[in-house]
Amino acid sequence: MMVQDLLDAVSGDAIRGHVAALEGIRHPVVAPQALLAAESYIEGEFRRLGYQVERHPFTDHGETYHNLIASRPGSPETGGRVLVVAHFDSVSVSPGADDNASGVAVLLELARVLEAVRFKRRVELVAVNLEEPSLHDGFALKGSAALARRAREEGWEIEGVLVLESVGFAGDVPQAAPPLPVAAPTVGDFLAVVANEASAKVLQLFCGEVKRLGISLPLFPLAVPGNGEILPDSRRSDHAPFWDLGYPALMLTDTADLRNPNYHAPTDTIGTLNIPFATEVCRATLAAVMALAEGEVS
């Protein structure tokens, strides 16, 4: 089986099924049982596919939460690891189909397609918790911050982190943009691929693989200075804690409220999503993972 066979194996129906299973308010205060049910669903899917799964604990306001790390070891001689990350919580008023059941659905479909692949580098597919702002203190990105701190403490050698953030809303819709030094599209039919200075090589690889393999996905690559401090919108997901600790990371996003009128609203439902677009995002992410991990098909 070659890379093109893996790309062809990506299923939009499977992605739709995962979004349908996850859709619903998944919030630690308003809907804690639903949040736990989403966690259980994701863990079950990873384990069903034969992945090693670690429940990575962290605490917030006296409660313990978990990130889920599904991993396949790489070659001991090669070392290093590649992470793909998506958050599974939602805000307190939204069923969160785009934000971020879409990203988790793509993560789970990646897990299915990659189950037959062995890698030179370790690949970890990570569902993180508590990305959304807390009702307690207003802070966000708590699960990914805990993960990035662990990476630093344990000395992880990370080739790249690919963060799937709201990847299901796209089409002939108006696209707004924050102030940028470059011209930005005005129609929301593209995937924004956001890097910082330290992530430029990963950005180049991602875009290069999409072009090389003829993946039908318009891209808007954006490299921001430093860690995105002058463009706060560039920091609005789980890549930011990795940037802050010096790791190369990309945010893959449909740009959320810059195009989606359902952002953080009760109307963020599966019926508003563009599943073929999310399917192409999955293929593009798959291609980048294969290149970063230097995968070999068994």
* Token output for 115: 């189950």
- Residue 271's domain comprises 3-297
Task: Please give the torsion angle defined by the CA atoms of residues 105, 131, 241 and 138, in that order, rounded to the nearest 10 degrees.
Answer: 160
Tokens encoding 268:
């963020």
pLDDT value of position 298:
41
Distances 156 to 62, 81, 85, 123, 244 between C-alpha atoms, Å: 28, 8, 16, 12, 15
CATH code of the domain in which 181 resides = 3.40.630.10
45 has pLDDT over 80: yes
Each residue's pLDDT tens digit, 178-237: 888 888 899 999 999 999 999 999 999 999 999 999 999 999 999 999 999 999 999 999
Q: Does the pLDDT of residue 297 top 60, yes or no?
A: no
Domain count, the chain: 1
- pLDDT tens digits, one per residue of 108-146: 999 999 998 989 999 999 999 999 999 999 999 999 999
R_g of the chain computed on alpha carbons: 17
What whole-number distance in Å separates Cα of residue 172 and Cα of residue 66? 38
Please give the sequence-ordered ranges of beta strands (E in DSSP) within the chain, or none if there are none.
52-60, 63-72, 81-87, 117-119, 122-128, 158-165, 191-196, 219-224, 249-253, 295-297
Q: Which residues contact 214 (CB under 8 A, 6 or more apart)?
A: none
Residue 77 has pLDDT above 80, yes or no: no
| Cα first-last separation, the chain | 8
